[in-house]
Chain A
Amino acid sequence: MISSSSDNVKKLSSINRRMFITGSLKFFIMIGLVSRLFFLQVKENKKYLTLSDKNRIREWKLAPVRGEFHDYFGNVVAGNFEAFQLHVIPEQVEDFRYVIYRLKDLLELSDKEFKKVLKKKNEIKPWETLIVSDNLSWNKFSKVNNHLYDLNGVKPVISISRNYPFGDNFTHVLGYVSQANERDIESNEIIKKNFVPGLKIGKVGLEKSFEEELIGKNDIERYEVNAYGRRISQLEFQKGEKGKTLKLTIDTEVQKLANELLKDQAGSICVMDIFTGEIIAMHSSPSFDPNLFVFGISQDDWQIIRNDPLKPLVNKTLQGNYSPGSTIKPIVALSALENGIINTNFTVECTGKKEMYGQTYHCWKKKGHGFVSLRNAMKQSCDTYFYEIARKLGVDKLSETAKKFGLGEKVFGDLFDIEKKGLIPNTVWKKNALGKGWLLGETMITGIGQGYIQTTPIQLCLMTAQIANGGYKIYPKIIANEENKKDQPDDKYVPLYQNSKNISIIQDAMFGSTNEVMGTSYRSRIDNIKYQFAGKTGTAQVKKITERDRELDLKTFEIPYEERDHALYIAFGPYKNPRYALSVLVEHGGNGSTTAAPMAKKLFKLIIDRHTLRQSVNNNTYLEI
């Protein structure tokens, strides 16, 4: 009993000692846990709070609303329309197979389209939106709406999309928009910033050039999401901004006429205000409907456009390098006058051809023009006269004048990335580019706008405008409300002549060419002084005319299409008080005077009729300011 009790005491002291040890241990571990909590929750709180927000908050960007294009009168030429779309969120659909087959019937989807939809469905998460149809007709859209009771989980959505109400009229000015691809995103910061799946961006033309202004700002939705990325609640909605609306200087009516005139032909028409440089119309034919590209062009449509022999994808106005033909003659004559090579009394005898340096240089008129002075030579477009003065002038002086008037230089600067510079040759150029010396014979054919010389239709238009306005430098512009500093260079309205009389001489000669008997475009004249215009025809050879061709002397329609001459015409009007200049080019149109000049007549009629209206718009804007 005693031993047992002493054992008990020993046992008790042992257990109590050990209890004390464990108790202290527990105390320290508790302190450890509390300090760990303190470290995480108090000291590192900010770091973990950020991490927690990063976990739970996700941003969704909505497609920004693209800015519009208006014409000079405020008509929408590239706008936004409400596209009827069908969205399905797969996880919200009870019986996806049933719904999708039902939709297939209702929308009359082809098997190919249907497969595409199914493929898209497999690529997305079940709570993401599946766009079954991106642009439904109203009929089908309302049909689906009528069957909604049967289509659980299908959402009819009206979304904003690009629309070109004037179809193919503005394609070569505006370009078109289409889905942004990876390259677009990589190459443009602003697209990258605003990118959302399905974003449409400008692919060519002004749509591309002004992407930054047009694209607008995304609406941003901030959502709280769970660990699986599902949206739980909306935390914030940040309204975006619609892109800037750009006003073109173009008059839709003139543009439409240009399109009509060139219907079924390849060519270009430009019309320009000779003082402000505003482009009134700029059309390249054939064109195509840009609306086809908005939701991705179908393979069939694409093949039709691509394989068209008239090359609708080429912007002939800006990209087309053509021999100017006789339309260069005003510049050649001006250059000769300016450099004092000739005066108005200088005459040349034209016998139809001229032998020189072992070559025969033909005038277009086999019988020859006899003795011609400058005015007559311009009027009748005598080649022999221009061979002679070009020879006397020399190509270097000629190229100097041509460049002054805007040839060989991009008219719009960097605005259109497709624009070509053309080519104004001189001796230095040939030495550098071809490594050969300049031949005098080459100067002669340059004098009639053949050989190396190449111009774009827009350059010819600018050249004509600068002759028409009395010889002052202007900068063409196509966006009316784009007040860029670059648009206001110092040398605007700087005289391009040495002697203003020379300009008048050329203007007068061009008047003769259109309004006097024997003038090459006499048949296209308008006698009414209000509309009266002055011009110069041009017929550019696309291949060297052989002796055999000359003997055959075929009519235009007898020659194969690709070998026919390009028809050109430049003009300004009204003659008494010039305001507008234009250039017309019809590819393989045969003859400038028969094909191109009549178009100018119709254009001037409309342009001058609309002049007052245009002025009134101008006055209004001044009043607003």
Chain B
Amino acid sequence: MYQHTRLTTNNSGFFQKFLNFDYILLACILLLGFISLATMYSTDGGKVLFHTKSHFTKLVIFTFMMLIFSFINIKFWFSIGYLSYLLVVGLLIWTFLFGITSSGSQRWIDLYFINLQPSELMKIFIILCLAKYFHRMKLENVNSLYTILTSLIIILLPMGLVIVQPDLGTSLLIAISGIAVLWFAGINNRYFIYTMLGFIISLPFIIAFLKPYQKLRVLTFLNPDRDPLGAGYQIIQSKIAVGSGGIFGKGFLKGTQSYLEFLPEKHTDFIFTLFSEEFGFVGSVFLLLIYAVIIYRIIAIGASSRSYFAKIFCYSFGGAIFVYIAINMSMVLGLLPIVGSPLPIMSYGGSSMLATMIGFGIVMSAKVHSQQSIA
């Protein structure tokens, strides 16, 4: 008993931390990384070209980063909750003022070695911030007007900064990340119901304020065949690619839809389409299973964590990851209108992978320090 306490309270040794690792989660992340590399290799037409190399470099660097983060005490993550949030908000403001514009939206900051997309980071740090905010709060205070307003401001501030870029998709994902925390923190059910109702009622007004291309996306989603070579092209081609994959797929490097460039955005948002075309139903379900295991492990880590902060972070992060996956897949399978949302780890894009890996790092840290309580 004494020994046990000593071990847990004494910050344990490096070796002990190593034993505490969640190896299933780590294996799944590495497997996912490997699959994403293979898929990226396929998008490059079976050659090791720019995307594969770049993806590989990022994957290696960010995986190591994640491992290092795992050894950092969960207390540290707790302590930087607000600071990191403010830092990313600062980056978003910087983006707004000096960001790089590409294909009509100003989303990136040039850091010389990487073009950083702060909005992707915000998807993680908003969870961190809100998790810290609710960590010590008494349940009766959670539903106070002050709390709700504060948390709403925490969510709406980055959302606004991302919407003006403009990047509706990411801002919605940020909101979903934040709302997930509110949900787990115990905000009264009726607020969610009211918000939902309010949203449905205001939908016509929202639509009126949408940009023409966004309206087009919604209309196209409702009927992709109305402009098969224009707005509907992406959905149609994506469905063709997935559908033509069949049960076992066309085979690695043999996806004609992607290889012949019928697929749009195949490196990023539509990477699942390519994977699904080449590996078919079996491969797709396998990939979904890997994601399911990852999410399950994240939740399990949350459940076994002693600290409320770790719990709330893991649950929310697990929920957020799930939403990203669900939205991305629904989009490429033609179940949702096209919104820019990458598939975690699989999609090409440094910032998205960085954010996800930071998330995994914190989750892993929560696992390694699961017996750690935060004062």
Contact = CB atoms under 8 A, between A and B. Distances in A.
B162 interface: no
Interface string B243-257: 111110000000011
Contacts of B284: 37, 41
Interface in B291-336: 292, 295, 299, 302-303, 308, 311-312, 315, 319, 322, 326, 329-330, 333, 335
A55 B281 contact: no
Nearest to A4: B138
A197 to B, nearest CB: 24
Nearest 9 interchain pairs by C-beta:
A48-B243, A52-B244, A226-B260, A41-B281, A227-B261, A48-B244, A40-B243, A14-B186, A227-B262
Nearest to B260: A226
B178 interface: no
B183 interface: yes
Contacts of B302: 19
Interface string A1-39: 000000110111011101100110010011001101110
Contacts of A8: 308
Interface string A115-151: 0000000000000000000000000000000000000
A52 B241 contact: yes
B239 interface: yes
Nearest to A43: B243
Given A19-B315, A48-B240, A37 B257 contact: no
Interface of B: 138-140, 183-186, 237, 239-247, 256-257, 260-262, 276, 280-281, 284-285, 288, 292, 295, 299, 302-303, 308, 311-312, 315, 319, 322, 326, 329-330, 333, 335
Contacts of A102: none
B299 A19 contact: yes
Contact of A52 (B256, B276, B303, B330): B256
A7 B312 CA distance: 15
A224 B335 contact: no
Contacts, number: 119
A228 interface: yes
A11 B243 CA distance: 46
Given A11-B139, A36-B335, A49-B244, A56 B260 contact: yes
Given A15-B186, A26-B322, A224-B256, A40 B262 contact: no
B292 A47 contact: no
A38 B183 CA distance: 32
A55 B329 CA distance: 23
Contact of A51 (B244, B303, B335): B244
Contacts of A37: 242, 276, 281, 284-285, 288, 333
Contact of A226 (B242, B247, B261): B261
Contacts of A30: 288, 292
Nearest to B183: A18
A42 B257 contact: no
Contact of A33 (B240, B245, B312, B330): B330
Given A14-B186, A33-B333, A48-B239, A228 B261 contact: yes
Contacts of B281: 37-38, 41-42
A51 B240 contact: yes
A615 B224 CA distance: 74
28 contacts: A7-B139, A15-B184, A15-B186, A16-B303, A18-B184, A19-B184, A19-B299, A26-B319, A30-B288, A30-B292, A33-B288, A34-B288, A37-B276, A37-B281, A40-B243, A40-B333, A41-B245, A45-B245, A49-B246, A51-B243, A51-B244, A52-B240, A52-B241, A56-B260, A227-B260, A227-B261, A228-B261, A232-B260
A224 B260 contact: yes
Given A10-B139, A48-B239, A55-B262, A34 B335 contact: no
A49 to B, nearest CB: 5
A225 interface: yes
Contacts of B322: 26, 29
A34 B299 CA distance: 21
Contacts of B335: 36
Contact of B257 (A33, A40, A55): A55
B256 A15 contact: no
A34 B287 CA distance: 11
Contacts of B260: 55-56, 224-227, 232
B308 A11 contact: yes
Interface string A204-237: 0000000000000000000011111000100000
A21 to B, nearest CB: 9
Contact of A40 (B242, B256, B303): B242
A22 B183 contact: yes
A514 B320 CA distance: 113
A34 B330 CA distance: 10
Contacts of A228: 261
Given A40-B333, A56-B260, 19 more contacts: A12-B311, A14-B186, A19-B303, A19-B315, A26-B322, A29-B322, A29-B326, A30-B288, A33-B288, A36-B333, A37-B242, A37-B276, A41-B246, A41-B276, A42-B281, A45-B244, A49-B246, A224-B260, A228-B261
A45 B243 CA distance: 5
A41 B276 CA distance: 9
A19 B322 CA distance: 13
A566 to B, nearest CB: 66
A56 B262 contact: yes
A12 B285 CA distance: 33
Interface string A41-64: 110110111011001100000000
A48 B334 CA distance: 14
A291 B237 CA distance: 50
A30 B140 CA distance: 34
Q: Which of B237, B244, B281 is packed against the most chain A CB atoms within 10 Å? A: B244
B243 A44 contact: yes
Nearest to A21: B183
A51 B240 CA distance: 7
A227 B257 CA distance: 8
A7 B138 contact: yes
A51 B184 CA distance: 45
Q: Which of A34, A40, A225 is packed against the most chain B CB atoms within 10 Å? A: A40
Nearest to A51: B240
Interface string A430-443: 00000000000000
A52 B262 CA distance: 9
Given A15-B186, A33-B333, A49 B243 contact: yes
A38 B292 CA distance: 18
Contact of B295 (A15, A26, A33): A26
B333 A15 contact: no
Contacts of A52: 240-241, 243-244, 256-257
B368 to A, nearest CB: 21
A232 B260 CA distance: 8
A400 B319 CA distance: 103
Contacts of A232: 260
Contacts of A19: 184, 299, 302-303, 315
Contact of A22 (B240, B256, B292, B319): B319
B239 A40 contact: yes
B319 to A, nearest CB: 6
A4 to B, nearest CB: 8
Contacts of A29: 322, 326
A54 to B, nearest CB: 9
Contacts of B312: 15
Nearest to B325: A33
Contacts of A33: 288, 326, 329-330, 333
Contacts of B246: 41-42, 45, 49
A34 B184 CA distance: 27
Contacts of B184: 15, 18-19
